[in-house]
Amino acid sequence: MVTIHDVAARAGVSPATVSRFLRGRRVRSYEAVQAAIDELGYWPSAAAQSLKSGRTNTIGVVVPDITNPYFAAVVKGMESVTRTEPYRILLANSDESSEQEDDVLADMVRRVDGIILAPATEQDETPLHVHDADVPLVFVDRDLAGGERFDAVLVDNDGGGRQAAEHLLALGHTRVAAISGTLDTTPGRLRREGFVGTLAKAGIEVPPEYDLIGDFKEHTGYQLTLSLLSLPEPPTAIFAANNLMTLGVLKALHDMRIDIPGQISLIGFDDLDTGPLLKPPLTVIDRPMFEQGVLAMRLLLRRLDPEESGGGASRIVLDTKLIERASTAPPGGRPAPSRTRRTRSR
């Protein structure tokens, strides 16, 4: 059986250096130790490592919806970081439920070294208990009310909503509907505030029948769009506040044979891999999903490193950008062919 001493001899370092490497500590001979491990086929005992170091070399990641392509991209960014670290990811789904999130975190907190969490709601209390249990915690995508003491990687949700409203205003729309996510979440609340607030500043009030609250899921986007189409005076433009609800809106408009953008313009939040391929290609407010995952994991690894874990919370807010395609146009009109424009939130 290959031992830690065999790895040390092959790498030309001390067993203590190999031990630090296996615990996730930074060592100068990182490449040599990794090469020796690969050449010898060394597999350290996870149980033994855990007993010696008090660590599991596992990072918990809890997201509200693992079927959402946005969270898939974020987790992929996290994995790109852990690929060169001695950590593995334990992924769990809260299904947008605070109760399910409570259960997941209560079980996970005993099995991981740190947690990256997209809270189900801003009023969650469980993350505070995780922090009190001395488990490093980083927020991604969503925040807590009063969560400034935690590391977080967020986006400018308010700015993204503002960009969507400004784009539709520039096209001449005045009958504009918003399908927002739940307002007890950071993205649901701030995207709506940015969108509705920008319209209000331009003198356009969004009536209650146009100001609809969803739950970030596709079926909700579908049903709320049908309710908009049933109005005596439907809107000429719709802003859907996440990718899954946008898909629901698209399906409803297609089923009701509504021309996009001839009858209704559509702008969504978060780009889709198929966005440019849709007919018409979809106008969206986009954000750096992969980068959010990378930054969140780096913040957590910093907290897990005794030499770098001090200091106050890091709060990173990334810009959004408008990707203008063919699903938006002036009321009753069509955009010029092959027109693509990008602007960033300020």
CATH 1.10.260.40 domain position(s) in the chain: 4-52
Give residue 201's pLDDT band: very low, low, confident or very high (50, 70, 90): very high
Q: Within 10 Å of residue 102's Cβ, how many Cβ atoms?
A: 17
Q: Of the ranges 20-24, 145-149, 170-174, which is most confident?
A: 170-174
- Stretch 135-139: mean pLDDT, rounded? 93
Please determine, looking at this structure, whether the domain spanning 157-287+321-344 carries the CATH number 3.40.50.2000: no
pLDDT at 184: 94
pLDDT at 59: 97
Structure confidence by residue, pLDDT tens digits, 12-63 = 999 888 877 876 667 778 889 989 988 988 866 544 455 445 578 899 999 9
- Describe the strand order of the beta sheet including 237-240 as a list of residue ranges: 211-213, 176-180, 237-240, 265-269, 283-286, 321-324, 341-344
pLDDT at 149: 87
Is residue 199 within 8 A of residue 249, CB to CB? The reply is no
pLDDT at 202: 98
Question: pLDDT at residue 213 above 60?
Answer: yes
CA separation (Å) from 175 to 47, 96, 127, 129, 222?
62, 31, 40, 45, 19
Tokens of 214: 């969803």
CATH 3.40.50.2300 domain position(s) in the chain: 53-156+289-318, 157-287+321-344
- Which residues lie closer than 8 Å to 273 by C-beta, 6 or more apart? 69
From CA 129, how far away is CA 137, in angstroms rounded?
11
User: 């356009």: which residue's tokens?
Assistant: 204
Peptide bond into 261 cis (omega under 30): yes
Q: 302: closest CA among 118, 154, 141, 114?
A: 114
Strand partners, 315: 152
Structure confidence by residue, pLDDT tens digits, 280-292 = 999 999 999 999 9
From CA 12, how far away is CA 294, in angstroms rounded?
32
- Stretch 69-89: mean pLDDT, rounded? 95
What CATH homologous superfamily does 4-52 map to? Answer: lambda repressor-like DNA-binding domains (1.10.260.40)
Fold of 53-156+289-318: Rossmann fold (3.40.50)
The phi and psi torsions of 334 (rounded to 5 degrees) equal -130, 145
Q: Chain-wide mean pLDDT for the chain?
A: 90
- Greater model confidence, 145 or 242: 242
How are beta strands 151-155 and 283-286 bridged, if at all? unpaired
pLDDT at 77: 98
Query: Helix, strand or coil for residue 200?
Result: helix
Show contacts of 142-145: CB within 8 Å, 24+ apart. 142/64, 142/118, 142/185, 142/186, 142/187, 143/119, 143/186, 144/119
- Stretch 81-91: mean pLDDT, rounded? 93
